[in-house]
Chains A and B, each alone.
Chain A
């Protein structure tokens, strides 16, 4: 396959960025999208140019590190996958592909396609946990039965990989799907009840402080989420917040 790539290049957080064109002549449909960029980078290194910086690590769709806005979509075409799981067979010979970083005020660009997502960590630090020390003397794991339905639903929420696709896809750069998923995981489990009110208030307050926008029920986040996290989690978070403020 022959491709034209239009990639966002930005030296550092302070400098101005721009789209730069690159051409690749020999792309195999079996390559992953990141392997295609590896090929480009090897070419650039051989030509004494600087390779394109992008975040990636596990390359199997679970670490949440990779983060690219491809042809106007988070993680590119195809549903329920991350960039590293996207394969070139999703494109055609002769295509032009736009590759940009996540765009959000709360995710400043570090370099090229890499953004700073530490805002997500700070939201978790504000309340995304259950306050139980690791003494080894907690009660037996089977002491509190949890219905399979609740456990499965909590698992579905907990499956979030924290990549930030929801924020990048949202016209308001809202992080409510991300926060809602964590709030829901604990709200659905008996262990999470004790601190439920404080948790949701603190996490939402931090989310607002970081500069994420609000939810206007567009639903783009759910469509683009590589793990298919449901919008219901946002509704549940709002319910929890109202309950907490009553």
Chain B
């Protein structure tokens, strides 16, 4: 098991490196210039050249990439071009907002999706099943920027709940207000994620319930409760766990829409700023961190498999 994990980690490092290479290449291909973006339309070409020199952007791309990579190996993600701040500080601050949203949204999604999915699977074809499926469909097709805005109008403007419409100035200095600012974003992301998960849980449970060993379990007179909880769910959980791991990683970036609506300075909006400002090192840093999360989540999921399914072993 340990050697398996180590091998996977080594592979992960290569994956991460390839990801940075890919992103760097892509950024070279798209037009745009960070210095001009900072200076705006009134600046002269001489102004732009001077800023490029100050930011070190006049060096050849390969040299810039290698010096960045060297920094990363020494644990230094470098300086953001736009913010002139250490990238690691920027990312840590943003993760401190986005991670709570993602974790809480996934928890909310799981708490909604698992019971509803099981319920719908057990009563497949019933009105309950239909209602759950319809609700899930709605949650998937409604865009989250619209849902988020509607939540603001329903909960804050009409119902006058004491929630902020955007992340408070001062951030976590005022923890209650900051937490309150995350309620609606979590609800928005969580419900969307639940809509996606509930279909998966339903499908997975339904498939397992049609397996031979379930029929056998029922045939030998086990109660439906034991059949469901002891035999079916454990097996049905496998694909759900896989997707949850991937969903976690994708939400890190997918929150960008919600972050825009709710004015949240999270990782998603940071990556958006970084790309539109052509802040190459910042984009690289964000990609590296997100790729690391994806790789780690995949690894965690694989290892969890071993616990959930005794047939899986790591040699």
> Do A and B share a complex?
no
| Interface set of B (CB-CB < 8 Å, partner A) | none
